[in-house]
A and B are shown apart, each in its own frame.
Chain A
Amino acid sequence: MNAAAALFSHYRRHPLQLVALALMILISTMLWSGMNHLTDQARSSLGRAEQSLSEGSQVIREDGAPVTVADFARLRRAGLCVMPWLEVPDPDGVGRLIGIDPLAAACFASGAMSGEQPALDGEPFIDMARAARLAGSPGDEAPPLVLLAADSVSADGLPTGYALASFARGPDTGELGASFLLNLDALGVLVLLITALLLRAVYQLSIVQRRDSFALLHRFGVPGKRINGLLMIEVLVLAGVCVLPGVWAGAQLARALGEGFGRSLEGLFDVTLYADGSQWWRSILVMMIVVLIACLPVRTLPHWLKRSRGVGWLGLGLLAIGMVWVAWSPGLVWTFVAVGLVFVGAGVLVPRLMAGIMATLSSRVDDPLGRWRYRELGVMARQLALPVVALQFTLALVLAVQTLVTTFEATFEQWLDQRLAAHWYVQVPEGRSGDRAADWLAQKLEPGTAAWHRIRRGTVMVDSGAGPSHRVDLLAVSPIGPLMEKWTLQSSLAHPWKLLADNQGVLINEQLALRYGVGVGDSLVLTLNGRVQSRTVLGVYADYGRPSGEVLVNGADLPADFQPEFESFSISPGGRGEAWLVSGFERIWQVPEIEIRENSDIRAMATRVFRQTFVLTRAMTFLTLTLAGTALLIMGWVFITSRAWYLQLLVTWGLSRREAFGELVRVSLGLTTTVSLLALPLGVWLTWVLVHRINPQAFGWSLPMAVYPGFWLELLALSTVIGLGIAALMGRQLRPGRMVALPANQSGGGER
């Protein structure tokens, strides 16, 4: 028998270990490459949405009013190279069409906009005239006209009343999109880290078990280098065989999750997920490297890492620094670094902490059997440190994500309830004004039993006094009444709604407050249709699921010539019915048919869309949990098998097999329960980080911090299942008539 056969015969005796190792590589590859696949798609989709005109600039009116065709004509007559740009929804499909004027585009001498065939991949351009016709069709809100400026246009050369601004399509997703991708990347890295830990754990086990064979081969004259070489080949072959199907499975996973993920991308950024082929070879390469690193022998670390007290302090230090850092971190990347520190610290600390707890407990109890249990648990905590830490991380992650999602759902639903407080919702038809309808409603509806308000949307230039002014969304509501007063505000002056009704100021959304550092009591300079006004911020309201900043003003405060881009009414008509409303509006607006919608339908739809938002994160964490649980199961089983003799010893000392099995159950349950108990604080902390740090930094809005003890119980139940699983697998060793062989390498007194 040659050396290779001798080494690999190990797996013939332990086929399950080989299967476990292979599955581990396969599943981790699947998880990570699936995740990576989706991130790649999101990256290129977000990229496409921005890339088009990242360098572009546009001409805007200084008075904040939207530009019109008249402005275009005026600028062209002044000899400036500007081009109209109108984005309209594609009537045949789900995408968008972009109307441009090829003649005007001719002066864009170079770059993407030259000639009649603008070279923007995948962007369907149509003639401006057609776009204008499409824009005129009823339905969606009227898209604003944009005047793109060529590079030759400088701010100084503009006629008075105009200014240059950068042009990005849609809300400025730039930074937020990058944060979103960073979030995905971070989750991917975490998954990779956890799987690498598990991989290493399982592989190390096979190495430890073969140590005697290595020594023997060495004594027979096989050089150590050759043994290592053989092991390396073993790892490479294993990785090669498992990574490929893993990447394939990852692509399948990505496809399965793609729909929900695509919706979340649209919900968050208004960006369509394009199904790109991602670079599968990169996934293969990365996974091969990860497998190699995870399985690489580390000679220098183990000893001082295992015993030294200093390392425990180091872990504690990292943990503390990370926690403080998170609270102060200026940006998302730093937040992730800090979270990384906390995880590393926790990973170093937890096995030690568990061993310490067990040592303390064992010295406290008087019952020798109880003492044995605790000591045995301490040994497990040290021997199974890697899978224990991996399981702890995963449990914490699951807890945090689960809490985040549930909090989000609860908050979002509550928020929707507030936003959709009225029973009916009706959109003012294109080309009509809401003035007369508002008068009619004011006349007919009694304030006591009915409630209604009119909403007008547009944009407004906001100057917070620090930095340049920004164009943000405008939400004008009138009258300010009972439909609004249920809104929960994140912070406000006393009686904000009364002040708003009295026109004493404005409210802003959280995104605006965060982005421009504006708070309650600050004053904002609003420029609307040329009118410049200073207004106090009365309060900040939550505004979920979109990145834009928004100012809420009293509709009565709008200039008379304000042209809303979109107008609607929300009505709870008291005793009156739908028919009354419909006929009333049809009469006022002189349209044959008016559609009024029930807010509960809108609410149901919105809830459905947002439920999809976290499908990916949820799925990833649960798959990782399955992996970690399985790994601990396998490791625990193998570990306890190596200690089966000592259970047998208990039987020899007069415990019945049943009682010995009871002891086994206690020990394995003790292990998994302690792990999940220690995972709880980490999970709660991680929830706080997600809700209060990462979410605002990534998406611009925060969520309230909620604690769900129900999830804690779920995790405990889960760890109980894993513990019972280990015990059940081990129970076989205690079957009557089956003497366990004396452990070959434990004649030195056994591991403790």
Chain B
Amino acid sequence: MTPPVLETKGLSKSFVSGTERVDVFSGLDISLAPGQSLSLVGRSGSGKSTLLNIVCGLESADCGTVSILGQRFDTGDAESPRARERRWASLRRQRIGVVFQDANLMPALSLADNVRLRARLAGRSTTDSQDWLQRLGIGELANRYPDQVSGGQRQRAAMAMVFAMQPDLILADEPTGSLDRHTADEVADTLFALQADAGVTLVLATHDTELAGRCESILDMAHRNDPGPGG
């Protein structure tokens, strides 16, 4: 049996703002096999983004374990913050692709240069960046800047960047959240097609039930009773 790409055990996170303490989630266990897709749903504020940030190391959990792509991060470990940070950075650099709702591109670089930059950071060849833009249907926009294209085209470019780095895991936080229905569907189609094609594992946070339904399993962050992946 292949080990899971992503596994969390007893993951808890709370925020303290002023005197108030907000428990976002606690005792969260997830396990995700290679090539699988999982969607995170739940009302606003239920902790979808927080979870995504924790499993790519941009935020840290209060307690619990994250095992990801063969690396284990335990809040109880005596590892120095810097060493931990380095391990996370190297994972994000080469193996975890992150897509946000918006602002995934450097505004000062053309779409093609954005793709090249992401590929170069991941240590991949920068020569096929044009191909990736082409596959996402925006090849002719390669030399435009992010403010010169539409929101949907920007999200396509963001996908091109993620696929150009050839990751093992994609974390997408409402990747179609700022798009209209039609464009959202188009972008989602491309995302799932490429994901299946490359056999990449995908975790996707969304409010869109239709989009969520396209994933193999769904985790409702607001009413969590079935943390494990379905079927």
Contact = CB atoms under 8 A, between A and B. Distances in A.
Given A368-B113, A372-B109, A653-B92, 5 more contacts: A372-B113, A649-B104, A750-B146, A751-B107, A752-B108
Given A369-B117, A654-B94, A752-B146, A649 B59 contact: no
Interface in B84-124: 85-86, 89-94, 98, 100-109, 113, 116-118, 120-122
Contacts of A87: none
B198 interface: no
Nearest to A376: B108
Interface stretch (B26-34, B132-140, B147-155): B147-155
A658 B106 CA distance: 19
Interface string A351-384: 0000000000000000111011001101100000
Interface string B149-187: 101001000000000000000000000001000000000
A592 interface: no
A736 interface: yes
Given A749-B148, A752-B146, A654 B121 contact: yes
B56 interface: yes
Interface stretch (A424-432, A480-488, A740-748): A740-748
Contacts of B85: 656-657, 736
Given A736-B81, A742-B100, A742-B102, A653 B146 contact: no
Contact of A368 (B58, B60, B109): B109
Q: State the 7 A-B residue pairs at the shortest beta-carbon distance, nearest first.
A: A654-B93, A750-B107, A749-B146, A749-B147, A375-B108, A368-B117, A654-B92
A651 B60 contact: no
A747 B108 contact: no
Nearest to A378: B108
A291 to B, nearest CB: 33
B120 A369 contact: yes
Contacts of A78: none
Contacts of A368: 109, 113, 116-117, 120, 126
Nearest to B99: A652
Interface string A623-651: 00000000000000000000001100101
B117 A655 contact: no
B60 to A, nearest CB: 6
B183 to A, nearest CB: 15
B195 to A, nearest CB: 19
B67 interface: no
B46 interface: no
Interface in A697-752: 736-737, 739, 742-743, 746-752
Interface of A: 367-369, 371-372, 375-376, 378-379, 645-646, 649, 651-659, 736-737, 739, 742-743, 746-752
B145 interface: yes
B154 A654 contact: no
Given A656-B85, A749-B146, A651 B58 contact: yes
Contacts of B60: 736-737
A653 B58 contact: no
Nearest to A374: B108
A656 B120 CA distance: 15
A645 B106 CA distance: 10
B13 to A, nearest CB: 11
B103 A750 contact: yes
Contacts of B116: 368
A743 B103 contact: yes
Nearest to B108: A375
B82 to A, nearest CB: 8
Nearest to A367: B120
Contacts of B86: 656
A372 B86 CA distance: 23
A307 to B, nearest CB: 14
For B91, B108, B117, B122, the residue with the greatest tally of chain A CB atoms inside 10 Å of its CB is B108
Interface string B42-68: 000000000001001011100000000
B155 to A, nearest CB: 11
Contacts of A736: 60, 81, 85
Contacts of A751: 107, 147
13 contacts: A368-B117, A375-B109, A378-B108, A653-B118, A658-B82, A739-B59, A742-B101, A742-B102, A743-B103, A750-B103, A750-B105, A750-B107, A752-B108
